[in-house]
Amino acid sequence: MYEIFGIDEDVRAVVESGGSQNQLKALFRKQRGKYLQESALAQVEAGETSVQEVLRVMKAGDEPPAGRPRTKPRQPRA
């Protein structure tokens, strides 16, 4: 699975102007980009892999996807 974000003039302008993550996400969607989670679920639906394998590889629950806040605070490790 992979995510490709093409750097075009629109993306360059947002970055140069100090734009927000939300602006970049909108441009990613405009490019018809798919997030890793979406690509993984498409592979599950196609029968190419299992939900368990996706969770294992993506270490679900360990770290939030980039740009997304944690749903619960991380507990300190003993």
State the pLDDT at residue 60: 52
Q: What mean pLDDT value characterizes the chain? A: 79
Distance CA 31, CA 25 (A): 10
SS3 track for the chain: CCCCCCCCHHHHHHHHCCCCHHHHHHHHHHCCCCCHHHHHHHHHHCCCCCHHHHHHHHCCCCCCCCCCCCCCCCCCCC
- Nearest CA-CA partner of 70 in 9, 61, 3: 61
Position 11 confidence tier, pLDDT thresholds 50, 70, 90: very high
Give the pLDDT confidence of 25-54 residue by residue, as tens digits.
899 888 887 788 888 888 999 999 999 988
Domain count, the chain: 1
- Domain of residue 30 covers 9-58
